[in-house]
Amino acid sequence: MKNAISGIHHITALASDPQRNLDFYVRVLGLRMVKQTVNFDLPDVYHFYYGDEVGTPGTLLTFFPFPGAGRGKRGIGEVSSVAFSVPPAGREYWIGRLAQHGIPFDGPLERFDDELIAFHDPDGMQLELVFIESAESGQIWKDGPVPVEFALRRFHGVTLTLGILQPTASLLTDTMGFRILHPNGDFVRFLAGTGNGQAAVDICIRPTLPPARQSAGSVHHIAWRVPDDSTHRLWQKKIADTGLPVTEIVDRQYFHSIYYNEPGGVLFEIATDPPGFLIDESKGQLGTRLKLPPWLEPQRKLSEQLLPPVSLPGISLATIHEPQEQG
Distance of closest approach, residue 220 Cβ to Zn ion, in angstroms = 8
Reference 251, options 189, 294, 201, 309; nearest CA is 294
Q: Name the residue nearer to Zn ion (CB basis): 97 or 220.
A: 220
Distance of closest approach, residue 182 Cβ to Zn ion, in angstroms = 31
Residue of the chain from 269, 273, 286, 291 that contacts Zn ion (CB under 5 A): 269
Q: Which stretch binds Zn ion (CB under 5 A): 12-20, 83-91, 160-168, 317-325?
A: 12-20
**Count of residues that interact with Zn ion, criterion CB under 5 A:** 3
| 193-197 LR contacts (CB < 8 Å, sep 24+) | 193/4, 193/5, 193/6, 193/7, 193/8, 193/225, 194/4, 194/6, 195/135, 195/136, 196/7, 196/58, 196/135, 196/136, 197/6, 197/7, 197/8, 197/57, 197/58, 197/225
Q: Name the residue nearer to Zn ion (CB basis): 200 or 223.
A: 223
Distance of closest approach, residue 64 Cβ to Zn ion, in angstroms = 10
Distance of closest approach, residue 255 Cβ to Zn ion, in angstroms = 8
Q: Name the residue nearer to Zn ion (CB basis): 111 or 225.
A: 225
Distance of closest approach, residue 210 Cβ to Zn ion, in angstroms = 25
Distance of closest approach, residue 269 Cβ to Zn ion, in angstroms = 5
What does the alpha-carbon distance between residue 180 and residue 192 come to, in Å, rounded to a whole number?
A: 9
Residue 223 found at the interface with Zn ion (CB under 5 A): yes
127 within 8 A of 83, measured Cβ to Cβ:
yes
Do you find a cis peptide bond into 309, omega within 30 degrees of 0?
A: no
Residues ≥6 apart with Cβ < 8 Å to 205:
162, 163, 164, 165, 186, 188
Residue 303 found at the interface with Zn ion (CB under 5 A): no
CA angle 321–322–323, rounded 5-degree value = 110
Distance of closest approach, residue 36 Cβ to Zn ion, in angstroms = 16
Q: Which stretch binds Zn ion (CB under 5 A): 7-15, 96-104, 136-144, 302-310?
A: 7-15
Beta bridge partners of 188: 203
Residue 12 found at the interface with Zn ion (CB under 5 A): yes
Q: Name the residue nearer to Zn ion (CB basis): 12 or 56.
A: 12
Q: Name the residue nearer to Zn ion (CB basis): 128 or 269.
A: 269
Residue 262 found at the interface with Zn ion (CB under 5 A): no
34 within 8 A of 49, measured Cβ to Cβ:
yes
Distance of closest approach, residue 243 Cβ to Zn ion, in angstroms = 23
What does the alpha-carbon distance between residue 293 and residue 40 come to, in Å, rounded to a whole number?
A: 8
Residue 226 found at the interface with Zn ion (CB under 5 A): no
> Which residues, numbered 161-190, are part of the site for Zn ion (CB under 5 A)?
none
Residues ≥6 apart with Cβ < 8 Å to 134:
85, 87, 153, 154, 156
Q: Which stretch binds Zn ion (CB under 5 A): 11-19, 70-78, 116-124, 290-298?
A: 11-19
Residues that bind Zn ion (CB under 5 A): 12, 223, 269
